[in-house]
Copies of this chain bind each other. A is one copy, B any other.
Amino acid sequence: MAPRGTSKGHEHPALSEVDLVTVLSALAEPTRLRIVGMLAEFEGERAWKDIELPIAQSTLSHHLKILRNAGLVQNRTEGTRCFVSLRDHEIDGRFPGLLEAVLSCRDTP
C-alpha cells in the first residue's frame, strides 16, 4: 500500500483533460478568482506565503488544489518553499480567450 500522504506531490493535469465546467467552477468563487487575478497581475511566479488573504492556510491550500486540478495554476517546489504561477498560455490554447475575458471583466464593478 502506498504511504498515505506523499505530501508535496502536486498533480498537474494535461489541459486536454480539463473540461470547461471544471474551469468555470474553479473561477466561480470569490477567493479563487482573487487568487487568479493576483497571479495574472504578477506576470510570473508568486511565493505561496506571499499570497496574503484573510483565510486559514489549510483553506488556501484547498483552493490552490482546486485551481491546480482545473489546470489554471501550477506549483513549483524549491526546498520547503512553494511557488505558484498561472498556466495562462496553456489555458488559452485549450479555451481561447476565456481567461482573458474573465480577467478583464473582473474589475468592472
List the interface of chain A (C-beta within 8 A of B). Answer: 19-21, 24-25, 27-30, 33, 94-98, 100-102, 104-106, 108-109
A89 to chain B, nearest CB (A): 16
CA distance A95 to B106 in the complex (A): 9
CA distance A49 to B60 in the complex (A): 44
Smallest CB gap from A105: residue in B = B95
B96 touches A98 (CB 8 A): no
Most buried by B among A21, A25, A28: A28
**Chain A's interface: helix, strand, loop or mixed, by majority?**
helix
Please give the count of copies of this chain that the complex contains: 2
A73 to chain B, nearest CB (A): 17
A20 touches B96 (CB 8 A): no
Report which of B28, B97, B108, B109 forms a contact with A24, defined as CB distance below 8 A. Answer: B28
**Given known contacts A24-B28, A25-B28, A27-B24, is B108 in contact with A104 (CB within 8 Å)?**
no
B21 touches A29 (CB 8 A): yes
CA distance A38 to B108 in the complex (A): 28
